[in-house]
Structure 1
Amino acid sequence: MYLMEWMVVLDHKRYKPGSIWDEQQKKNAEREKKHEKKLFAQGLGHLRTAKESDIHESRSEVVDDNGSIYRKTKAYLDVCTYNDDKRGLITLLMGVVCLYLIGGVDFLVFILRQAVTGLDESGEVVSLSSLIFPLVAFSVVVPLLYFVFFRYLIKAWRLEAFTVRRLMVRFNRETRKVYLLRPGFLGGVKAYDWEEVDAILPKNMPNHEGIGGMLVLAVKTEENENPYRDFGVDGAFLGLPSRDYQHLLSFWEYIRRFMEDGADAVPAPKRLRSKWPNPLTSMWTVSRLSLPGGFDLGRSFLWLRLALTPVFVIWGLGHYASLLLSYEGRFPKAIRQASGESELRSWLELLAYNLLPLLYTAVGLWLYYAWRHGLDWRLPLQYLGV
């Protein structure tokens, strides 16, 4: 679920004076000004514009791809974002809402049919007076629910469905650019100079077990409608949760060495991340419950993980459904050409990642249905004359 990316975008916008979002922006700006005053009072005013980390400085002797790499070539590195796997719950909730919406329409049609014909399902006469209240109530409630759904709820659903399946960051060492692949409502596709990037990695953070989290990339931009701040901040939340701070530094070092020293300066990823939606993979993903600091039920609470298996199965189906309701995106042609991508391969991957999951899911559902109802699984082939 791309909630954090959405919050970053919302912070750049201008809102109606006095609204909740406007007041929140004002509070954030006041908090930042107080922090600046403290820095100047301590003689540390230069830190206000300084970066948290120098991209030319090595911060770790070891490198780790953190299982977060989609593709590594001589020219570029495609890295996953932190929230790509955190999805499914909204889709489950919206699925229930859709069932109620469909049921509401179905019941309204049922009442209207009785009101028009004067007969119920069994053919007996129905009193019109007994239908007036449910008819009026559902005639008001059902359109209201549809209005709320399409006006507000569908926007929340877009945080994990009806959008790109994954947000991706490409580090291109030849163009010295960092490219962000995102849908328009999350900031769109952007390109920033490598030298502009700041990795939020405080130097003096202790390496206590459990203090890891995500790698945050930030870039100051001129794109900003927030009236309380004279600059905008864009960026990305990178990689899977790190188990401690040293692990986080080694992940950043993998990216930094690739960009600074070359593709041969870092080893090949231990295992590339797959882009193929898979229900079993979805169930495994949600069962990990990976949180900042590397908290993982798979390592720490195996007994609880087993006890919650039914929950993870249902959640995993929601996760898988959200992937199928989304589409696999790709970078614009100019960025693909700058990265040396093959256009033929790009088109084939686009078609395969978007069409094949729907096909093998449909086949799987049919085989399950045929098995449950004792049908011949070859019936579709017979209808096609195969």
Structure 2
Amino acid sequence: MFTGWYVPFKLNRPLESAERHAALPFHPQPGVIPDTYGSLIHFNSTYTDFIDRKDRLRGMVSTTAGLVGIIVAIIMGAFSIGLFMVDLLQGNDVLINMAFSILFLLMVIGFIWFTWSRQLKKDMFTYTHYPIRFNRKTRKVYVFRHNGPNGVLTVPWDEVFWHIGRGMQQKYLCDVRGHVMDGVRVKDTFAVGQYFDDGQIGRIQATWEFIRRYMEEGPETVAEHPLDRLIDKSVTPSWTNCYLWVGASMGPSFVALRYVLFPLFYPIVGLLTLGRWLTLNSCKDPVWPPEVEAECQVEPNDPNRWEEPSYLWEFANRPGVVERNEERMRQQSENLKG
């Protein structure tokens, strides 16, 4: 799950044979309907922006557990100091208690440092999201890393080796992945959009087909139906967005049992929502450098500028949208089976 984030991509290596066999095509994929599955955040005639692979896990279980662990450790550390102060005021033999308190405090400090350095600092006080931009006019891909010098990887679209990437620990997790090559060696790597298990590899193909059509055929070709011209994803770090994302991450089976398991369901959802909200609100917005913005100017009356939601799945309330989504997924499934 943490490939390319907690666990860095392997670089400065030759291309693997499995990656060659997983290369994504630049020709149309028969039966694949373009879709972004919650990965798209901006769309117009000049460029389109996607979130990167780690967006799904931002502020979720690992970060929330780390935050809770640090809070508990601080409370226990304060309690240890309090006990020592009571012994000191009562004139008790404090040497043993002092030694114990110092040892315990060192353990608390070590735990906090370990949790922060190995996990929290990669998620909190960073950026609300890490966009990847496809500019069809300049035929460039911009990968946001940080605000500041050399904070954006810029690479020509035609020079990226695109393939279906797999997780480094969980091999069954797949994503749209790009390698920047230096001859036959992998110089840099990034992943675009949501990841899915290999039982849903059709979603990876659909995401790629959306990107491929946009860059190769134009913005008018990515939506096969007027109701497909919608953006689901909102990157605003609001409580509503965090709650909706956590609820969706629980999975339909768990959500269906929420009234039966409400003593368990709602505390978990509430805690994870709080963890994601705290994480994203500790972060700042990504800012593209001026030279990128200069290359990505959008016409004022661009007919292909898609409306952006103020919260996740806002447009699902519009007439026909849910039915069209169900129809598209059914067609996608039938086409891939055929």
TM-score, normalized by the shorter chain, greater than 0.5? yes
Give the corresponding residue for 1:58.
28
Give the corresponding residue for 2:66.
94
CA distance in 2, matches of 1:144, 1:201: 43
In the TM superposition, what are the counterparts of 1:2-151 in structure 2 within 5 Å? 3-6=2-5, 9=8, 11-12=10-11, 52-55=23-26, 57-61=27-31, 62-87=33-58, 88-107=60-79, 109-111=81-83, 113-114=85-86, 119=89, 126-129=90-93, 131-151=94-114
Distance apart, 1:249 and its partner CA: 2.1
CA distance in 2, matches of 1:194, 1:234: 14
Q: Judging by fraction of residues, say which structure has more strand.
A: 2
Distance apart, 1:70 and its partner CA: 0.7
CA distance in 1, matches of 2:208, 2:9: 27
In the TM superposition, what are the counterparts of 1:1-386 in structure 2 within 5 Å? 3-6=2-5, 9=8, 11-12=10-11, 52-55=23-26, 57-61=27-31, 62-87=33-58, 88-107=60-79, 109-111=81-83, 113-114=85-86, 119=89, 126-129=90-93, 131-151=94-114, 153-183=116-146, 188-201=151-164, 214-222=174-182, 231-239=186-194, 241=196, 244-267=200-223, 269-289=229-249, 297-298=251-252, 300=253, 302-306=255-259, 307=261, 308-340=265-297
Secondary structure, counterpart of 1:167 in structure 2:
coil
Check the 8 A contact 1:68/1:240 in 2, yes or no: no
Q: What code does the residue aligned with 2:131 have?
A: M
Between 1 and 2, higher relative CO (CA 8 Å, sep ≥ 6) is seen in 2
Secondary structure, counterpart of 2:234 in structure 1:
coil
Deviations 1:302-359 (A, max 9, x none): 43344233322222221222212222212222212211279xxxxxxxxxx9xxxxxx
Distance apart, 1:173 and its partner CA: 0.8
Q: What code does the residue aligned with 1:239 have?
A: Q
Distance apart, 1:75 and its partner CA: 0.7
Q: What code does the residue aligned with 1:303 have?
A: A
CA distance in 1, matches of 2:21, 2:65: 43
Q: Percent identity?
A: 19
Deviations 1:105-130 (A, max 9, x none): 53354356446xx53xxxxxx1331x
Q: What code does the residue aligned with 1:110 have?
A: G
CA distance in 1, matches of 2:20, 2:71: 52
CA distance in 1, matches of 2:164, 2:63: 34
The unaligned stretches of length 5 or more in structure 1 are 14-28, 37-46, 120-125, 203-211, 224-228, 291-296, 343-352, 354-386
Alpha-carbon spacing, 1:310–1:333, altered in 2? closer, same or farther (3 Å):
same
Q: What code does the residue aligned with 1:304 have?
A: L
Q: Select the structure of larger CA radius of gyration.
A: 1
RMSD: 3.6
Alpha-carbon spacing, 1:213–1:107, altered in 2? closer, same or farther (3 Å):
closer
Check the 8 A contact 2:63/2:123 in 1, yes or no: yes
Q: What code does the residue aligned with 2:48 have?
A: L
Check the 8 A contact 1:60/1:249 in 2, yes or no: no
CA distance in 1, matches of 2:176, 2:20: 17
Check the 8 A contact 1:65/1:270 in 2, yes or no: no
Q: What code does the residue aligned with 1:171 have?
A: F
Distance apart, 1:197 and its partner CA: 2.2
Distance apart, 1:82 and its partner CA: 3.2
Check the 8 A contact 2:46/2:298 in 1, yes or no: no
CA distance in 2, matches of 1:256, 1:83: 22
TM-score using structure 1 length: 0.62
Q: Judging by fraction of residues, say which structure has more helix.
A: 1
The unaligned stretches of length 5 or more in structure 2 are 166-171, 300-309, 311-338
Check the 8 A contact 2:180/2:188 in 1, yes or no: yes
Distance apart, 1:183 and its partner CA: 4.1
Deviations 1:126-178 (A, max 9, x none): 1331x322221111321343144225533311232221121221001111111
Check the 8 A contact 1:104/1:138 in 2, yes or no: no
Q: What code does the residue aligned with 2:294 have?
A: Q
Tell me how many residue pairs correspond in the alignment.
281
